A = this chain, B = another copy of it.
């Protein structure tokens, strides 16, 4: 990316490996005027969209069409662009086929991007609960319950699945994904497959399956369903979130709607060219035999192995705290433990005008400097309390943090018992 930013670096010796230079030259050839300072097409550079399609095809063992790939400034932007298609603000209320608002199914707990975007687009949030007692399993019975109840108040148009889960860290089995696809097919739902943590799978026996792959393997009629899958360079082993690189692969979308999607993103001109390039590096990493391959593989494997150790460390340690229960962190980057709060603490929170988990999180922050995100921001079953913490700090810091958290918790329980 430095080579692309300042192409005279291509003429230096001994600083950059040859394969990095070759990739930079290829991408620069795809930039107008050979410069990352130029606008690209609104869905991104063709060469990068092709690399992304190759990456998907290789990952899934199923074909991917580069024209279905849209680059975006982080996955969030892609999710919001496609989500916006589910609404209908331009149609006056009197002319709409129904007076009901559109609704989108989202998991509870969920990543707040979804609730915030639905609120912004004036759509109904249709929550379905993940089953905490079975490692945040996604049950079709719960989807059935949720949609049945929602149909009385809105037009359910889409379902969001976050896999691996944020904030919940579960990884869906292949069978589970099949069941969701069948449900979505039966209910004619557009599928949002938030798969940004596809590289972040740690637990023994867990494996990432993309919705596109499972759908393709299931054959007709599932292979023709409308699905958008989202990916990012902000997660995985790279975590280059400041670059704002991401993509959406949108398959089987009605051609008129696809044209409207392309038109709507064009108001933003184009995603950052360096962010697009960062996404390219993830989709088209060094190959065996290339000069960068060994060091890249080492760093990737080290990062993922360390994240796996941290995932285990966090969950195991949280479970040693009395009143805490934390599911296995099978994937993604977070633990979402449940904690029991004393009745007096709940009363004190109510008195302070705060949710009990918010009250707890502020106390924790003030006493220890540890920042966790209260479960009420993600959604949780009434009467249960959680917080999200991340597995991202380095191992010694995590161990220290967990020790201080434990100490705080014991004092907190004592204070309110």
Contact = CB atoms under 8 A, between A and B. Distances in A.
A270 B73 CA distance: 10
Nearest to A240: B37
Contacts of A8: 15
Given A9-B2, A89-B89, A272-B275, A120 B264 contact: yes
Interface in A99-113: 112-113
B9 A267 contact: no
Contact of A122 (B31, B89, B272): B89
Interface stretch (A53-61, A172-180, A241-249, A309-317): A241-249
Q: Which of A90, A117, A243, A267 has the most CB of B within 10 A?
A: A267
A91 to B, nearest CB: 10
B74 A242 contact: no
Nearest to A263: B116
A142 to B, nearest CB: 26
Nearest to A8: B15
Interface string A62-82: 000000000001101100100
Given A39-B241, A116-B267, 18 more contacts: A1-B6, A2-B3, A2-B6, A36-B243, A37-B241, A39-B234, A73-B272, A74-B268, A76-B269, A80-B268, A84-B120, A89-B121, A120-B267, A244-B244, A244-B270, A244-B273, A272-B274, A272-B275
Nearest 5 Cβ contacts at the A-B interface: A2-B6, A242-B273, A37-B240, A244-B272, A89-B122
Interface of A: 1-3, 5-6, 8-9, 12, 15, 31, 35-40, 73-74, 76-77, 80, 84, 89-90, 93, 112-113, 116-117, 119-122, 234, 238-244, 264, 267-275
